[in-house]
Structure 1
Amino acid sequence: MSVRTIAVKYGVHRGTIPTFVLRSGGKLRSTGLNNERRASAAILYRDGHTLQEVADRLGIDPKTVRNAVVAEGISPRPRGRRPMAI
């Protein structure tokens, strides 16, 4: 379950959940992508795939793809636009 889902279910602030998980000896999921997957996402996007297509291919959220693209120094295209073939 996501931190947000747990927080809503128990009526606590989302910042409280990680504290309880760590205190009880649990581990938190890492967020985002490692360097290799971030680079792969950026390459696919640069090659003309949409954020959604890259997300579907890598099994991640489109927002994660967008964050990876930006982190790799690529400006996101306007919504609904693909690069023009030369």
Structure 2
Amino acid sequence: MRRQGLSDHDLPAATTLYEGGSSLSEIGDRFGISHSAVRRALIAHGVVMRPEGGSRPRK
């Protein structure tokens, strides 16, 4: 069965990961959900999104 979103239990860890520089995709992979589900959950709980493209340097 596919998970529908980020649980309240996982939200603090996901927030810490995101604020520490992890991408939405990396967080989604870790919790078994899509990057868009991570984004929706973080925004719903007041987390400010980074600009698109992230802050990581290009290779």
TM-score when scaled to structure 1? Answer: 0.53
Paired letter, 1:39? P
Contact 1:38–1:69 (8 Å) recurs in 2: yes
Greater radius of gyration (CA): 1
Percent of aligned positions that are identical:
39
- The structure, 1 or 2, with the larger RCO (C-alpha pairs under 8 Å, 6+ apart) is 2
Mark the runs of 5 or more structure 1 residues left unpaired by the alignment.
Answer: 2-28
Greater percentage in helix: 1
Aligned position for 1:35? 8
Aligned position for 1:60? 33
Contact 1:41–1:68 (8 Å) recurs in 2: no
Matched pairs, number: 56
